[in-house]
Homo-oligomer: A and B are copies of this chain.
């Protein structure tokens, strides 16, 4: 049996993601994905049984990227307010890139939720945990004064929700990074008040 190669797998996922977001699941064939990835379709089947498996794998790769990005930002020795902004800018750009990846991006997101609903929940929980740990870091360093961190975190999550439109919903507005920072800076100011 042919050995599976991590770099080849990544190349397949990248090619598949691009074609699927541009043409949608139904109009994309395994043959086309193989061609885009520069491999024979027989080889493609060694990696993935069908389009749904590929779709789930692209979503999992997205989650892995979030974990890698977050770990790097959370480890960075910068003050909590800067870390909070760096983390949210990273998320904002990742979500936007995903949303704008093609005219079928919303359809793909809906398909992934149907195939593997727990992925979206995990994603939401990871964001919440990361933000919570940044707020706690700020409190420990005496940069943030927060009486009820859990409540503040909940309010904060609602307040930035506008800037992270659900990937499943069709586009009706494009949120601005500048306005997200306005909101985040406002919260930082509240949390920094003596």
Interface positions of A (Cβ within 8 A of B): 151-152, 154-155, 158-163, 166, 168-170, 172-173, 179, 182-183, 186, 190, 193
Contact = CB atoms under 8 A, between A and B. Distances in A.
A169 B168 contact: no
* Chain A contact residues, majority secondary structure: helix
Nearest to A190: B190
A94 to B, nearest CB: 20
Given A170-B169, A172-B169, A182 B159 contact: no
A155 B193 contact: no
Contacts of A190: 190
Contacts of A183: 155, 158-159
A20 to B, nearest CB: 20
A161 B172 CA distance: 14
A154 B172 contact: no
A11 to B, nearest CB: 32
B159 A168 contact: no
Contacts of A152: 186
A81 to B, nearest CB: 16
Contacts of A172: 166, 168-169
Nearest to A106: B170
Nearest to A162: B161
Nearest to A180: B158
A89 to B, nearest CB: 16
A159 B170 contact: no
Nearest to A161: B162
Contacts of A170: 169-170
A31 to B, nearest CB: 32
